[in-house]
Amino acid sequence: MASTCLFLTQFLLIFPVAMASSSPPLILSLLKSTVPNKLTFRRNVSLTVAVAVGSPPQTATMVLDTGSELSWLRCNAAVTTSASASFNPHVSITYRPITCSAPTCTTRTRDLTLPASCDKNRLCHVILSYADASSVEGTLATDGFRLGGSPVQTGAVFGCMESGSSSNPVEDARTTGLMGMNRGQLSFVSQMGFPKFSYCISPRDSPGVLILGAAELPWLPPLNYTPLVQVPPAAAALPYFDRVAYTVRLQGITVAGKLLPIPESVLEPDHTGAGQTMIDSGTQFTFLIGAAYAALRSEFLKQTAGILRPLAEPNFVFQGTMDLCFRIEMRSAAAARLPSVGLVFGGAEMKVAGEKLLYRVAGETRGPDGVYCLTFGNSDLLGVEAYVIGHHHQQDLWMEFDLAKSRVGLAEVGCDSASQRLGL
């Protein structure tokens, strides 16, 4: 594999104040950065937003992640410049570390795979671990957060992380932390009180849109909604089920309209909760449980015979999970002839077509051909017992996360056009 490369694509964030719907939207800068590496389940494609934290305010660049709950900042007491990718808690007069005897320290969250503990100063010590084997640890704390010209959100709980290990040091060097956006009580969107948020991601080097609050735009097409899967609090223990993720019910997978013969039992969580379907902006590609991936792989290979030339290298597996790859001289010419893949939910369908189906592997060539892989991976190889719908397949879709009504809405929208209509 070639050495890691980095490129940036500018996005724009429209941010209406949650409790004042009549207020004009606040426009912030949101960046999309891509850093390919060998194992990149989390944060390889990052939507980042600038946030002012503390008093006096320090600018923090936070990764927007719908798959995480607790927000955190990389903390460094030696920071003396606003250009640093770290937050200095000691210069903020509103920073308050949380003690290990405080109720917040004992709150159970999705991200805390290890229980919070006491450090030598009797402060609440937390460790967050992610599926790409990265982790961060530090002190649970509160401080004020401000986005654009919005009112300061005082007393927001976050992790002030002082150490950790990373699978993506290049990306981490550009960001101050992570903004958890799932449905957990400690997530940023829950603490800020937004009833919904939505985004539209452009597949090209052009602006996209993110709106926190209600997107009342007359030109938006009707959204197709699918309900979030709800598990009653009194239900039996489900050790592998994430109760605060944006979980939807996957009813089937199609290739060129043909429904794949996948048993219903494979598409639904089992008695342990393994096998749920989650929408995660912190993941780049889409991962399917082994049996479903095998069915998709077989049918896609069959329907593209004569269109695509298989790589025919059994030991080549992109990112450790994608083993269906091809030799292609010009992707655009082949993309128009590819069969679409549909992810069918109750009330909605996500269609993946054209260039979104194939991803070029950086630095890999075979003569005049580039190496392209199907943008669906095998979650069994990833070590994650779930279906995960990634950022790549959400491009040119208006994605709405409605927390108030427990549903996700989507519709095909040209994100470039949406940006232009909003005057961005």
List the catalytic residues: 65, 280
Instruction: Identify residue 94 by its one-letter amino acid code.
Output: T
Name the β-bridge partners of 14: 27, 211
Reduced to 3 states (helix: H, G, I; strand: E, B; else coil), residue 314 is: coil
Distance CA 357, CA 338 (A): 8
Q: For the chain, what is the radius of gyration of the CA atoms?
A: 21
The Cα angle at residue 201 between residues 198 and 207, in degrees rounded to 5: 110
Q: Which helix (H) or strand (E) holds 266?
A: helix 264-267
Max distance between CA atoms of the chain, in angstroms, equals 66
Helices and strands, counts by H and E, the chain: 7, 29
- Among residues 245, 28, 252, 257, the alpha carbon closest in space to that of 145 is found at 28
Own/partner contacts of 355-361, CB < 8 Å, gap of 24 or more, are 355/203, 355/331, 356/203, 356/392, 356/393, 356/395, 358/326, 358/328, 358/331, 358/334, 359/285, 359/318, 359/392, 360/331, 361/1, 361/36, 361/318, 361/325
Q: Which residues pair with 377 in a beta bridge?
A: 287
Please state, in angstroms and rounded to a whole number, the distance separating the CA atoms of residues 42 and 241: 18
